[in-house]
Structure 1
Amino acid sequence: MTEDPAFLATTFVVIDFETTTPTGYPAQPIEIAALALRYEEGTWATVGRYASLIRPPAFAPVTSADTAQTGLTPEQVKQAPNPADALGALDRRFTANTRYLLVAQHAATEANVIHNQREHCPALACVDFLDTIPLAKHLVPGLPNYKLDTLLAHFSVPLPANRHRATADVDVTAEVFFRLINAAAETSQISDLAALVKIAGRTAKCNIPVQSGLFDI
């Protein structure tokens, strides 16, 4: 797989959000981190990195439960960029004529946040995902579960001190992704990028065709 031209031509962007979960509304981002990677000459090269706090809307304040989970406080996000500025700055890093795939642990979470914020990040919203969970299930069967901490323990990746902050979670998700790709390459279980996408891919909601009603007039 790591010799497949399509794989080598792809920029993999590991992404993670921290969010608030206001009642009656979708999750609202309060922090984002992204790590862009290319596989070059047998190793992974970092080709970009981005991180920002995000000021949530008034209906989605940082709660004590959020602080307990992430360590982020209302004061920290109060002066942060709004979603349009924080996500727009990341969106502008995605260039035309470059093949991208986003990588995330439980990609449905990140996919939903991005889709709900798509007006601020239209380029990002059109990038499909690889989910490390189905990839790990395929390559490392038999684990008690496929939570990130379980995968970190399996691959002997130390827990970061600031686990549940976006940058730390992106870094350790990348480490898991590296090990999964190595396992796939060593065992020849996945032959190319197309096979990888078939196992672990998730189509961005913006790329899913909308089916017209059968009796539209």
Structure 2
Amino acid sequence: MNYNTWPPLLVVDVEGNGTNPPDLVEVAALPIRDGRPDTSTAGAWLIRPPRPVTPFAARVHGLTNEVLASSPSWPEVAGQVRGLLGEAWIAAHGAHVDYRVLSAHLPGWEPAGVIDTLRLARAAVPGLPGYGLDALIKQRQPDLSHAPDQRHRARFDAYATALLLLDLAERYPTWGQLAAVSVPPSLPGAPQPEEDPTLW
């Protein structure tokens, strides 16, 4: 894989407060540059949600109402998040969730395309017993010794997803082939069906 052919891409992960629809409590955006995660230009934000964090969500990611009490609200950081994401591609594991939540919180924002590493993994390594992030970490064994925070925190999950993306991408010689198998049909960047030339 020639990473110089990749468009601008950020691996994203969001954590919510457990409500439906969710309020954001953490966002991470990790650029991929020269075939590696670029932690020096990554962005991560803790956010005080307008509604309390549910006990279940707090047990998953550890971000309690007390932890977030002094964090900025979403309107205070939304411009920074939008500025980092820009119009680049994004990648995430189960990307429709992250894309949907970010789109709801950033009206008018749309990435150039959306890579789903869950979809990519199913295409690249068929037949695994599971394709959740934990299962893929166990199966592919990326080097997470430099990953920030811990599992279920946005920075950790974005870093782990970035390493899995780069590992799985090695099976596809070109960006076009990678995108063809990993962009969900309904999301930005999906290949458009060719028009029937016989129609007029």
Question: Is 1:56 equivalent to 2:49 in the alignment?
Answer: yes
Cα offsets for 1:138-180 (capped at 9, x unmatched) = 1111101100011101111367672101111111111111111
Query: Alignment partner for residue 131 of structure 1, among 105, 116, 125?
Result: 116
Question: Is 1:16 equivalent to 2:7 in the alignment?
Answer: no
Match of 1:69 in 2: 60
Match of 2:132 in 1: 147
Question: Is 1:80 equivalent to 2:75 in the alignment?
Answer: no
Question: Is 1:174 equivalent to 2:165 in the alignment?
Answer: no
Indicate if the aligned counterparts of 1:37 and 1:48 stay in contact, CA closer than 8 A: no
Higher strand share: 1
Cα offsets for 1:108-135 (capped at 9, x unmatched) = 110110121123xx44x33421000111
Give the number of aligned pairs: 184
Q: How far 1:107 sits from its partner (Å)?
A: 0.3
- Structure 1 pair 127/19, CA: closer, same or farther in 2 (3 Å)? farther
Match of 1:199 in 2: 181
Indicate if the aligned counterparts of 2:61 and 2:153 stay in contact, CA closer than 8 A: yes
CA distance in 2, matches of 1:84, 1:44: 31
CA distance in 2, matches of 1:84, 1:106: 26
CA distance in 1, matches of 2:11, 2:64: 25
Q: Which runs of 4+ in 1 moved over 6 A?
A: 158-161
81-90 or 67-76, which deviates more: 81-90
Q: How far 1:26 sits from its partner (Å)?
A: 1.1
CA distance in 1, matches of 2:112, 2:69: 30
Question: Is 1:90 equivalent to 2:87 in the alignment?
Answer: no
Indicate if the aligned counterparts of 1:133 and 1:146 stay in contact, CA closer than 8 A: yes
**SS of alignment partner, residue 81 of structure 1:** coil
Report the RMSD for the aligned CA atoms in angstroms: 2.3
